[in-house]
Amino acid sequence: MIKPGKLILIRHAPVKKKEGFLPEHNPGAIINDDEFKNLAKNIPQDSVWYVSPLRRTMQTADSLSKYVRNRKTIIDSNLIEQNFGNWSGMRISEVWKELRDNAVQHNFSFLCPEISPPNGDSFLDQCKRISRWVENLNFNDSQVIVAITHSGVIRAALSHMLGIEPDKAVGIEILPLSLSLLEVLNEEDCIHRGGRFRLLGVNK
């Protein structure tokens, strides 16, 4: 009998935003204990947690661990958010001056997937990194893996697992402290059509 594993993708708690500016690369999170209590009800005990090393995700993991225990925590730099490089913390109107003459714009995203900010990386770069990370996960024995990470990482993971083109995936809204759940087959069990991954819920 096939017993699929599960992958739970959690976006970090919200961060303080400065109106009219792009966020800093590594801001802190806004912690609300009641929200973490509710989120913890949807996370199995004794799962393996992978956590982005950025401040807001580490704070989210620490707060969540008060209400649900995990088997172990792995701090994984593959899960960091797309780096906006020199544009981090800049006034949006100033960044737009560099973008408005681009021949191609996106309907739903500030940046097209292929655009790399100066000294940063693109969504396509992020998709490649996350694709490798997903394929290296071990779901033996129906393991549950929890990733506490960022909206861009979750979009990139959905792009890879569900075959969504990055140009479409970049427009998916991922809410703070939301949970997205996927069922995962091991390679040896993936013998028919439909792929290894089944989306059970997003932004829960």
Instruction: Write the CB contacts of 106 (distance below 8 Å, at least 6 apart in sequence).
Output: 112, 113, 167, 170, 171
Distance CA 155, CA 152 (A): 5
Tens place of pLDDT per residue across the chain (204 aa)? 678 899 999 999 999 888 888 888 899 999 999 999 999 999 999 999 999 999 999 999 999 999 999 999 999 999 999 999 999 999 988 988 888 878 788 999 888 999 999 999 999 999 999 999 999 998 876 689 999 999 999 999 999 999 999 999 999 999 999 999 999 998 777 888 989 999 999 999
Q: Encode pLDDT of 99-115 as tens digits.
A: 887 878 899 988 899 99
At which residue do the structure tokens 């500030």 appear? 110
Q: Which domains does the chain have, with CATH numbers?
A: 5-201 (3.40.50.1240)
Q: Which residues of 6-44 are buried (b: 16+ CB within 10 A; e: fewer)?
A: bbbbbbbbbbeeeeebbebbebebbeeeebbeebbeebe
